[in-house]
Structure 1
Amino acid sequence: MSDLPADRRAFRQRLTRLLAAMGPGLVVMMADTEAGSVITAAQSGAQWGYRLLLLQFLLVPLMFMAQELTVRLGLCTGKGYVELVRQRFGRALAMSTAIVLLLSCFGALLTQMSGLVGAGSLFGIPGWLILFTLVVFILGMVLTGSYHSVERVTLAVGLFGLAFLVMAVKAQPDVRQILHDIVRMPLNNPDYLYLLAANLGTSVMPWTVFYQQSALIDKGLGAEHLPLARIDTLVGAVFCQVLTAAIVIAAAATLGGHGAGLESIAQIGEAFGALIGPTWGEAVFAIGLAGGALVATIVVCLSAVWAVGEALGVRHSLEQHPLDAPWFYGPFALLLIGGALLVASGVNLIRLSIAVGVLNALLIPLILLLLFLLARSVLPPEHRLRGRYALAVAVIFTLTSVLGLYAGLSGSLG
């Protein structure tokens, strides 16, 4: 290394730092393209055509702002979201935040497992076999590896979501219809508002905010990685919403957008299958759905146990041996197995996925408010949220919270 020219040494050092910082942002955004997001986006296209397409791109700045603040908090304080809430606002609020996160995580876990069962049903694979294989695979990966190995596996699996881009291209959408629909948003329609809230809640989820902050800490990164971690976050946010928009486009082009709702994974698989061919089309759809669901299953389980540990003042890490951290690996296993048993009992996936999204939309105000207050108070002065950018974040967070509450409540009660 010492024999290399100075410019090549500097390049290698920059590349090493880039590779170290990249990962958590991509993982959490790949997890964001999970079963619930896929189903909600497909339902949006099937029921409302392209009328919810613009929303997918408007969510990119919001997602980046929220996740970028978690990056700052994690890298500059070395502490997780709930841990900071506990130290800044007290144990009671920390436990309340942990409960909110647990509620969001468990709903998401059920959605992912149900999505995987639904994808398997397209090929006649028994649900119990899929759930058993899933539990064994994830437990084996987590119990035998560090965060770095878990991250590598989840990134590889999450790339299967690129299958949805193939679907969107094959759908050959009518550009004139897109331009006609995209600016027409019937905000007085309760059904539209309900799906709008679900889209919002499957894009900015409490567990995604929490996971990235804890993952950065578990990876051993510091404030010097902040610029590159921001790039990681931005790339992840754009990647996530491009895939989600692709699902809306494919569903609108194939399922009509004339108010007809979806009732099962099979409906989506059959419609998307017509784009490429019955066998290959369903396979591509199943791979895309399963990839996001697998990543999200790992992420939500880790988020849940990290949150409880931080609320109780107990630090956990995947770098620890299972025997040295039973309070980390035990709850992880119980949450995973409990979710599998509940899903095995049978649940309507379409309704569950959209309901979980709406629930997340109703929880967003608390999560964003605490995130904003922490970024304004606990960060070192040079990294603290302030000035015009703080005002912009405050405005966007407020508008998002109001929209989430209005759409979620109006859609649920309408």
Structure 2
Amino acid sequence: MTTTDAAPPATIRPPRPRGLLLGPAFVAAIAYVDPGNVAANLTAGASYQYLLLWVLVLANAIAVLVQYLSAKLGIVTGRSLPEVLGQRLPRSSRLAFWGQAEIVAAATDVAEIIGGALALQLLFGVPLVVGGLLTGAASLGLLLLTRYRGGRVFQNAVIALLVVLSIGFCAGLLFAPPSPSGMLAGLVPRFEGTTSVLLATSMLGATVMPHAVYLHSALTRDHHGHVAEGVDRRRVLKATRVDVVLALIVAGAVNIAMLVLAASTLAGRSDTDTIPGAHRAITETLGPLVGLLFGIGLLASGLASTSVGAMAGAEIMRGLLHVRIPLFVRRVVTLVPALILLGTGVSPTWLLVLSQVVLSFGIVFALVPLVRATSDPALMGSGRNRLPTRIAAWAATGVVVALNLALIVLTVTGLG
């Protein structure tokens, strides 16, 4: 482990060809289709059919705004959000902020390792703990691509996994089309009791993920460097908007596909509130090919998302504490809690759902500093958020806070 001074802004680079401006958002988008999403979306669709579809639509709209702000921060300042906070916060506050951010990162790792282990069990009958070890090892291999082959190779590998998981999770809709009227009804915001609020919060935490907010600014910093104000910056920001919208359209479509597939094929069936149960039901209803594709999608999701999660955790530590640790060491340390939980015998699906609730409570700690930083003229100059963007960003933050408060009130009072 080494300690370094705060990193200076990234160096200014020559303009990239237009096609090479895209990519960072697709890496960040992996966080939006991780195994926690699978558990939350399948459980919501199987338990409440289309009731909570509106949550996914709202969460994806919030995600587009949030990820663009994170990307813009990296482009305009040449620093990631953790780096900006590491320079602005006093040491005591920095340590506290790092602590909660690392808890969020740990919850992310738990979800992703568990998802990969579940996929290996469904596909090959591998025991969960062994599957967790294999998932961690495979994710380390992906991370080593960045070190030895460069970020572009890692980015391409993650995008390839995104394509695989998209096919795997969407294939079932070809055999079980959703109900158009049910989907329209699902766009009306409403709940049905405490459990539906818990699931909605889990879906929100699985869609607008804190570690993706921290990481995206670092991805654009590394991809573009510090872009000087003027024509080049406007060009990069325009391309970044396209990058974010396209990436999150893909991620949002996959999430919606999971929920509506569960609503159309799993509703009313027993033992569909777990991923293994849902996999069995999908296989029995739609055939072994769809079940196989679903398992492959889950495996691709776990492998890609655990690599992205580890990168986010490393950036959080480096930016806030100015400390670097080798990726191998970090991978081993963050793997241990997931393996312990896998060995307890607790339902892996509910571990995934609850991990997403933890993420949902961590969103506020990422969103508030992000909105404040990107609205600060001293930091952003002419790139600061304009009034409509500030209003939309604070409104999105308010929605997140309100949903979390509703969860606390309903859980404590036992209403529903």
TM-score normalised by length of structure 1:
0.86
Q: What is the CA distance between 1:411 and its match in structure 2?
A: 4.2
Q: Mean Cα displacement is larger for which, 133-142 or 104-113?
A: 133-142
1:346-401 CA-to-partner distances (Å, cap 9, x unmatched) read 44212111111112222222221111111122533210113222122222222232
Counterparts of 1:96 and 1:25, CA distance in 2: 28
What aligned pairs does 1:197-216 form with structure 2 within 5 A after superposition? Answer: 197-216=201-220
Shift of 1:22: 1.5
Given the superposition, is the C-alpha separation of residues 20 and 408 from structure 1 closer, same or farther in structure 2, using an over 3 Å criterion?
farther
Bigger mean CA deviation after superposition, 152-161 or 42-51: 152-161
- What is the rounded CA distance, in whole Å, between the counterparts of 2:157 and 2:97 in structure 1? 29
Contact 1:53 1:182 in 2 (8 A): yes
Q: Deviations over 1:178-235 (max 9, x none)?
A: 3345436236x11111111111111111101011111222334333322212211111
Give the counterpart letter for 1:349 in structure 2: P
Note the alpha carbon deviations across 1:296-333, whole angstroms, 9 max, x for none: 1001111112111111224x6xxxxxxxxxx2425423
| Counterpart selection for 1:168 from 151, 167, 173 | 173
Alignment correspondent of 1:71: 71
In 2, the alpha carbon distance for the partners of 1:151 and 1:116 equals: 20
> What is the CA distance between 1:110 and its match in structure 2?
1.3
Letter in 1 for 2:149: G
In structure 2, distance between residues paired with 1:169 and 1:411? 38
Pair 1:295 & 2:304 matched: yes
Whole-Å Cα distance in 2 between the matches of residues 145 and 152 of structure 1? 11
- How many residues align? The count is 387
Equivalent residue, structure 2, for 1:49: 49
- Counterpart check, 1:253 vs 2:251: no
Aligned partners of 2:21 and 2:224 also within 8 Å: no
Contact kept? 2:41, 2:259, Cα under 8 Å: yes
Shift of 1:280: 1.3
CA distance in 2, matches of 1:216, 1:404: 30
Distance 2:318 2:220 in 1: 16
| Cα distance, 1:131 vs structure 2 | 3.2
Equivalent residue, structure 2, for 1:179:
184
- The aligned counterpart of 2:279 is 269
The answer to whether the 8 Å contact 2:109/2:306 transfers is: yes
1:195 to 196, 199, 207: 199
Deviation of 1:37 (Å): 0.3
Code of the aligned partner of 2:371: F
Q: Structure 2: how far apart are the matches of 1:246 and 1:80?
A: 32
3-state SS of paired residue (1:219): helix
The AA in structure 2 aligned to 1:21 is L
CA RMSD for the aligned pairs?
2.4
Task: Show the counterpart of 1:368.
Answer: 367
Q: Secondary structure at the match of 1:183?
A: coil
For 1:109 and 1:55, the matched residues in 2 are separated by: 24
Contact kept, 8 Å, 2:50 with 2:259, in 1: the verdict is: yes
* Residue aligning to 1:286: 295
Equivalent position SS for 1:379: helix
Mapped to 1, the partners of 2:413 and 2:118 lie a distance apart of 29
Counterpart residue number, 2:327: 329
Unaligned runs of 5+ in 2: 1-13, 228-232
8 Å contact from structure 1 (residues 85, 93) kept in 2? no
- Does the residue aligned with 1:79 lie in a helix, a strand or coil? coil
Q: TM-score, normalised by structure 2?
A: 0.86
Of stretches 382-391 and 34-43 in structure 1, the one that deviates more from structure 2 is 382-391
Which residue number in structure 1 is paired with residue 3 of structure 2? none
For 2:412 and 2:163, locate their aligned partners in 1 and report how far apart those are by CA, in whole Å: 34
> Where does residue 343 of structure 2 map in the other structure?
345
Aligned equivalents of 2:409, 2:359: Cα separation in 1:
12
The alpha-carbon distance between structure 1 residues 137 and 293, as it changes in their structure 2 partners (threshold 3 A), is closer
